[in-house]
């Protein structure tokens, strides 16, 4: 196993130490932090490969830290909380977390979810980075939208737009098959890998982010089903 580093952010030192011990036993490197401020400093200087992030932190909340991290990268995030309300889980997923666990939880289950997340993110990278070797075009152009797949770059109306790994994977899937309606389950499988077990709201969040970044790109909602990139005759986005 590759020695990934995982940051465990929780102001409860007992929980933090238990989680770190189980992750280290699995072969991961860990770093324990008690505040979002310390976590943000780590992110700026030596970002880890994954975050296990408590919601209720002193000062800046885990929600806000998750939001800030997600603005910059697609690193895996597992949120943990003593709160078991559905609205809390949904909010965590909408802000960009990849999984949500309620305290008290089994450290062994957490380790299993960590393993699956790394596997899932590896599948997403394979989807993007291996695209050129699977009969995929080195570039996709639809009107004013251009994707350079082997460089993972996106241009909209002549300007380059920064994309995270999962945003690019989702956009590429729809751009390569314009006008096709993709179900949320299909998109989850394409972007995260076939073993995804979280909420399909994660796709809705990605779509919102793409719409913000690519203003007026016609990503249509197919109600009760999923999404499609609508292209008019002549090859221009509608």
> Which domains occur in the chain, in start order?
5-128 (3.40.50.2300), 134-229 (1.10.10.10)
Tokens at 41, concatenated:
């400093």
> What are the angstrom distances between the C-alpha of 129 and each of 6, 125, 202?
23, 6, 21
Asked whether residue 33 carries a pLDDT value surpassing 80, the answer given is: yes
- Which phi-psi region, left, alpha or beta, contains residue 158 (left: φ > 0; alpha: ψ -120 to 50)? left
Q: How many angstroms separate the CA atoms of 23 and 8, rounded?
A: 10
| Number of other residues whose CB lies within 10 A of the CB of residue 214 | 20
Task: Output the pTM of the full model.
Answer: 0.58
What spatial distance separates the first Cα and last Cα of the chain, rounded to whole Å?
46
Phi, psi (rounded to 5 degrees) for 96: 120, 0
- Contact assessment for residue 172 and residue 154, using Cβ atoms and an 8 Å cutoff: no
> Strand pairing partners for 30?
6
> What are the angstrom distances between the C-alpha of 111 and each of 2, 44, 129, 176, 232?
15, 26, 27, 36, 47
The pLDDT, as a whole number, for residue 127 is 46
Structure-model confidence comparison of residues 39 and 97, the more confident one: 39
Q: Mean of the pLDDT values across residues 71-81?
A: 84
Express each pLDDT in 87-139 by its tens digit: 666 777 777 788 888 888 999 999 998 988 887 766 455 444 444 344 445 77
Tokens at 161, concatenated:
């737009």
SS3 194: coil
- Contact assessment for residue 170 and residue 179, using Cβ atoms and an 8 Å cutoff: no
């Amino acid at each position: 196993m590759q020695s990934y580093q995982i940051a465990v952010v929780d102001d409860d030192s007992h929980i933090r130490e238990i989680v770190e011990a189980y992750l280290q036993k699995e072969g991961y490197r860990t770093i324990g932090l008690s505040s979002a401020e310390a976590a943000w400093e780590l992110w700026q200087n030596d970002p880890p490969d994954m975050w296990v992030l408590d919601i209720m932190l002193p000062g800046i909340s885990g929600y806000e830290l998750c939001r800030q991290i997600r603005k910059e990268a697609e690193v895996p995030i597992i949120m943990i909380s003593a709160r078991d309300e559905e609205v809390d889980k949904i909010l965590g997923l909408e802000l960009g977390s990849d999984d949500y666990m309620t305290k008290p939880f089994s450290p062994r289950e957490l380790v299993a979810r960590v393993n699956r997340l790394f596997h899932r993110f590896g599948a997403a990278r394979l989807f993007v980075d291996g695209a050129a070797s699977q009969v995929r075009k080195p570039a996709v152009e639809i009107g004013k939208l251009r994707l350079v797949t082997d460089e993972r770059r996106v241009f909209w109306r002549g300007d380059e737009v920064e994309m995270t790994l999962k945003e690019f994977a989702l956009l590429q899937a729809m751009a390569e098959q314009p006008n096709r309606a993709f179900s949320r389950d299909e998109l989850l499988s394409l972007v995260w890998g076939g073993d995804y077990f979280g909420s399909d709201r994660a796709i809705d969040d990605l779509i919102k982010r793409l719409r913000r970044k690519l203003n007026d790109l016609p990503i249509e909602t197919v109600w009760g089903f999923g999404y499609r990139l609508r292209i008019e005759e002549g090859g221009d986005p509608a």
